[in-house]
């Protein structure tokens, strides 16, 4: 079992907001081995006492409303160690190797919570000082490149030192409870699978809406845009889980193989196709609730002009027997009306209608899988309105499964909790195999190329709306509408 976790970039935002709180919850749930140490490394590390105090402060802020359990708090803080050093330098890392990680039989997880630009030199140094050994697992975060070529370069530098089975590429959406529930919904219940195809499903919508803006990370975001930041990874992963064939088992290989087939079956959106299958948008000033917010180019750190999209909508098709002719509408954006992430599976209308007046596109069955803020599943069904009316008035009602209500006494783990726990146990099912990332980039690169060849502009939308009107038109052209 894992005995040490080394966090490179341990004094950064990701570590404080996500990693330490997740590890604390795992400690609380008795999922950390007694001997486990958490070693933070960064160029500007604090001394031991200040570091523990800062982590404590962050735990109080990010671990939920209840006060921290005093016993767990004490145990957790005792696990923390902090070193101020440059992890790209062999000389600096050799100190850790000689003085901290002396027992080579202890498993080691190294988490690179750093920009990918330094992945290669850090991995070289880990190898040079003997830390990149067989019993090390390496965890890396997105962005893994900005296109397929740069991903392959980053990946080659990791693979020159580690085996694929040692590398855990995180897509934090895969750690979300409802995303795992998608697998359960589809493959642990007999109900949906017979209907899960183009005979019964009209179309699918995947929406990941955020109310925050690019704000504090403007310059990073401006290089990426919504397509690279959200679609290449999170949205395509959701699409894979929704569309893949039943895997033979939950083993990483079975699941990854099925997801890869979906990515390979995605119809490329190339050249002029981008003009009618994609929409780019950029937010302007507006209101989110009662708060007035600036436009994208007036955000702190913004340069005056930018054509970067903060919103993207795409009509995708999967070219295989199961999904031929079924559009998958994807959309994501910042500064939208509210933060939510939802998948809508819209079933087809009845083959023969006996309730003449009541049925129409709106009344066809709909399965809504809500990922956040609350997690739940709703199945919209038609029901007769009670009463003596001979016309059989019907109304859409929903079978509502709120995961929060159904499991009230359960702590719903944060995505990072699940993922870190899986790394410790060596289970990579919920991580990204290299060929999945590569295939996702190939699809995204075509769209980017189309955008630049055809000079597709990011059209303005007002903050607090649900994106540009072109996004409504994208779906309306097919006589459909977004289910907001």
Q: Is the dihedral of CA 236, 237, 243, 244 positive or negative?
A: positive
281 contacts: CB under 8 Å, gap ≥ 6: 309, 310, 311, 312, 313, 333, 458, 459, 460, 461, 467, 468, 470, 471
- Please tell me which residue in 234, 256, 380, 448 is annotated as part of the active site: 234
> Which is nearest to 4 in space by CA: 99, 100, 72, 123?
100
Answer for which of 4, 27, 222, 229 binds ligand BG6 (CB under 6 A) is: 229
- Report the nearest approach of ligand BG6 to the CB of residue 224 (Å): 8
Taking the C-alpha atoms of residue 439 and residue 425, their distance in angstroms, rounded to an integer, is 27
Region 459-478 residues binding ligand BG6, contact defined as CB under 6 A = none
Q: Judged by CB under 6 A, does residue 375 bind ligand BG6?
A: no
Kindly tell me which of 90 and 147 has the beta carbon lying closer to ligand BG6: 147
| Residues within window 150-179 making contact with ligand BG6, judged by CB under 6 A | none
SS3 track for 100-111:
CCCCCCCEEEEE
Nearest distance in Å: CB 329, ligand BG6? 19
We find the least distance from the C-beta atom of residue 226 to ligand BG6, in angstroms, to be 8
- Grouping H, G, I as helix, E, B as strand and the rest as coil, residue 62 is helix
Residue position matching structure tokens 């990693």: 19
Nearer to ligand BG6, 50 or 61 (CB): 61
CA triple 202-461-325, angle to 5 deg: 15
- Of 202 and 210, CB closest to ligand BG6: 210
- Decide whether 129 or 208 has the Cβ nearer to ligand BG6: 208
| Size, binding site for ligand BG6 by CB under 6 A | 2
H-helix or E-strand containing 92? helix 90-99
Provide the pairing of β-strand 459-462 with 394-402. unpaired
Using CB under 6 A, which of 4, 11, 210, 375 touches ligand BG6?
A: 210
Write down the least CB distance from residue 234 to ligand BG6, Å. Answer: 6
- Pick the closer one to ligand BG6 by CB: 107 or 342: 342
Decide whether 335 or 366 has the Cβ nearer to ligand BG6: 335
Hey, CA dihedral for 162, 165, 168, 173, is it positive or negative?
positive
CB of 171 to ligand BG6, least distance (A): 8
Closest distance of CB 51 from ligand BG6, Å:
26
Query: Torsion angle of alpha carbons 332, 334, 335, 340, nearest 10°?
Result: 50
Is-catalytic flag, 234?
A: yes
Mind telling me the catalytic residues?
A: 234
Residues that bind ligand BG6 (CB under 6 A): 210, 229
């Amino acid at each position: 079992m894992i005995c040490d976790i080394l966090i490179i970039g341990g004094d950064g935002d990701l570590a404080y907001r996500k990693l330490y709180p997740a590890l604390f919850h795992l400690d609380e749930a008795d999922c950390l081995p007694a001997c486990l140490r958490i070693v933070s490394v960064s160029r500007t590390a604090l001394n031991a006492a200040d570091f523990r105090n800062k982590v404590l402060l962050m735990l109080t802020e990010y671990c939920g409303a209840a006060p921290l359990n005093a016993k767990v708090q004490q145990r957790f803080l005792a696990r923390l160690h902090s070193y101020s050093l440059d992890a790209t330098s062999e000389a600096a890392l050799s100190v850790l190797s000689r003085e901290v990680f002396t027992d080579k039989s202890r498993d080691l997880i190294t988490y690179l919570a750093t920009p990918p630009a330094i992945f290669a030199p850090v991995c070289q140094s880990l190898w040079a000082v003997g830390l990149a050994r067989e019993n090390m697992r390496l965890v890396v975060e997105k962005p893994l490149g900005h296109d397929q070529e740069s991903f392959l370069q980053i990946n080659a530098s990791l693979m020159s030192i580690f085996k694929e089975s040692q590398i855990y590429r995180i897509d934090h959406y895969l750690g979300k409870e409802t995303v795992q529930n998608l697998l359960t919904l589809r493959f642990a219940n007999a109900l949906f699978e017979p209907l899960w195809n183009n005979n019964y499903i009209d179309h699918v919508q995947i929406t990941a809406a955020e109310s925050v803006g690019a704000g504090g990370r403007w310059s990073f975001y401006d290089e990426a845009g919504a397509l690279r930041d959200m679609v290449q990874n999170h949205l395509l992963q959701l699409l894979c889980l929704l569309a893949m064939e039943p895997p033979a088992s939950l083993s990483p290989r079975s699941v990854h193989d099925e997801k890869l087939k979906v990515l390979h079956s995605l119809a490329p959106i190339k050249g002029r196709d981008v003009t009618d299958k994609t929409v780019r948008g950029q937010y302007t000033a507006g209101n989110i609730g009662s708060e007035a917010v600036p436009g994208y180019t007036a955000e702190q750190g913004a340069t005056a002009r930018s054509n970067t999209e903060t919103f993207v909508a795409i009509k995708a098709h999967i070219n295989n027997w199961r999904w031929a002719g079924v559009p998958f509408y994807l959309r994501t954006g910042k500064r939208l009306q509210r933060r939510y992430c939802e998948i809508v599976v819209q079933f087809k209308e009845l083959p023969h209608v006996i309730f003449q007046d009541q049925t129409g596109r709106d009344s066809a069955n709909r399965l809504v899988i809500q990922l956040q803020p609350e997690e739940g599943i709703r199945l919209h069904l038609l029901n007769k309105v009670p009463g003596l009316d001979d016309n059989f008035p019907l109304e859409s009602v929903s079978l509502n499964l709120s995961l929060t209500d159904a499991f009230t006494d359960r702590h719903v783990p944060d995505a990072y909790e699940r993922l870190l726990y899986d790394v410790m146990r060596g289970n990579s099912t919920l991580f990204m195999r290299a060929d999945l990332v590569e295939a996702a980039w190939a699809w995204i690169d075509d769209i980017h190329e189309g955008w630049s060849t055809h000079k597709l502009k990011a059209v303005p939308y007002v903050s607090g709306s649900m994106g540009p009107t072109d996004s409504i038109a994208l779906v309306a052209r097919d006589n459909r509408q977004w289910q907001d």
